[in-house]
Structure 1
Amino acid sequence: MTRRRRVYEGKAKVLFEGPEPGTLVQYFKDDATAFNGEKKSTVTGKGVLNNRISEHLMSRLGEIGIQNHFIRRLNMREQLIKEVEIIPVEVIIRNIAAGSICSRLGITEGTALPRAIIEYCFKSDDLNDPLVSEEHITAFGWATPQELDEIMNLSLRVNDFLSGLFTGIGIRLVDFKLEFGRYYDGDEVQIILADEISPDNCRLWDMATNEKLDKDRFRRDLGGVEDAYQEVARRLGILPEGGPGDLKGPSSIQ
């Protein structure tokens, strides 16, 4: 077996060189981090669950014409993705006040926002991912005005679709983070959705009880992190009764 070349390693995922030009293998780790890596732990099975949840949501978004980097799941922890040039901006879509917006603006957690609010952060661990404006993004060349318009439009479409999907299974989509990249297909350049969509980067509350079903359980020492992620997968209809260990896929690429 040949050893794969590691392209990038983040806090929750590792990217390896893919089997074909223009592809990568995205590996989901069990590592859990919060507060820009200051708090760290391991949640057994988290990577398996996030791989499956992200596959499901990216596939559903692809079905409605939202282009993304997902190609196919390879096994329990890996998926084949399109290689993209990541735009160094995190897009946060907020439907309900939670997290940093509450402390920044003095809003009570759980307050419904008058409309979906989009915020941008510059991707930099060293700077703690600071909030930035559209002016910063275009002035520093992280994205063109046209690309930023496309990112905003896609983000709102994703929010509309996922909000409805989660409502249908009794979950409130409070807020979530997206990343986008430039996908080069010959002479054509497309802005497409990248990274992942999972309880790691979404706030998900049970609609009946407001129980948190996301990484806030780890951030706030609430316990039951794996159980919460499994509950999301179960409601999405993608977790067998036997648990995440039953999620099978083709052999790992080596």
Structure 2
Amino acid sequence: MQLIYQGKTKDVYQLDNNRILLKFKDDVTGENGVFDPGANTVGLTIDGAGKSGLKMTTYFFELLNSLQIPTHYVSADIDDVSMVVKNAQVLGKGLEVICRYKAVGSFYRRYATYCQEGQDLDRFVEVTIKDDERGDPVISQEALAMLNILSKEQYDELADLTRKICDIVKAELAKKGLELYDIKLEFGYDVSNNRLLLIDEISGGNMRVYKNGVYIAPLDLEKEFLS
């Protein structure tokens, strides 16, 4: 295997046949030792976080694949804390797509003048540029088109697929009495057919979930959800 990229929460290796291996780490994003799925730096290391994230990711990707929703997922090895995926070209130089059901986190910090914390949002989708130096700025549909990152049609496809996926995740969590407040996803294009795919992971490390109004930490979420 050839190491091609060392990320914040996983390392990426090249395999044969347009396949990639993702090796999950125990590092999670946050600031000052506090977990934050929206942060752009590694904030802390939590023993078992990698395996926990992979377990939830495997569950959701296998579910989405069974529903004919395009993802990069091929297989997972929980003991090895690794996942084999299709090779995909990221959008631009890397975008993150957030779907918000409640006004929390950076959304609330930006717009607190106009909303209450925890206020309902109608599956609000926003896109941020993966750029640590500039704090992962939010970018609009119009700007994405003007900068030749995504056409308006590609953006609409991305937003529709995001809402579809997130509604499925939200419904699955609700079966265990868990409420999804927001979730961060990543997408790319399958290098073999240029089809839009969900990539990266779906785990407690990239979502905020509450139970009876109380926030559930990533490792606790995995235990509650998969128990």
Counterpart residue number, 1:197: 202
Q: What is the root-mean-square deviation in Å for CA atoms of aligned residues? A: 1.5
- Structure 2, unpaired ranges of 5+: 31-38
Work out whether 1:233 is the aligned partner of 2:222.
Answer: yes
Q: Is the Cα–Cα contact under 8 Å of residues 147 and 191 in structure 1 kept in the other structure?
A: no
Matches within 5 A, 1:1-254: 4-18=1-15, 20-34=16-30, 35-37=39-41, 40-76=43-79, 77-87=81-91, 88-106=94-112, 107-113=115-121, 115-185=122-192, 188-206=193-211, 208=212, 210-214=213-217, 228-229=218-219, 231-237=220-226
Distance 1:156 1:46 in 2: 26
- The letter of the residue matching 1:23 is R
**CA apart distance, 1:146:** 2.6
- The letter of the residue matching 2:7 is G
**CA apart distance, 1:52:** 1.0
Distance 1:104 1:97 in 2: 10
Distance 2:118 2:29 in 1: 24
- The letter of the residue matching 1:24 is I
Question: May I ask how many residue pairs the two structures share in their alignment?
Answer: 214
| TM-score using structure 2 length | 0.89
- Structure 1, unpaired ranges of 5+: 215-227, 240-254
Given the superposition, is the C-alpha separation of residues 140 and 200 from structure 1 closer, same or farther in structure 2, using an over 3 Å criterion?
Answer: same
- The letter of the residue matching 2:118 is G
| TM-score using structure 1 length | 0.80
- The letter of the residue matching 1:8 is Y
Distance 1:64 1:8 in 2: 30
Q: Residue 200 of structure 1: SS of its match in structure 2?
A: helix
Superposed CA offset, 1:151-174 (max 9, x none): 111011012211111111111010
Distance 2:26 2:224 in 1: 21
> Quick one: percent identity of the two aligned structures?
25
Superposed CA offset, 1:205-249 (max 9, x none): 11x2x22123xxxxxxxxxxxxx51x3223333x6xxxxxxxxxx
**CA apart distance, 1:50:** 0.3
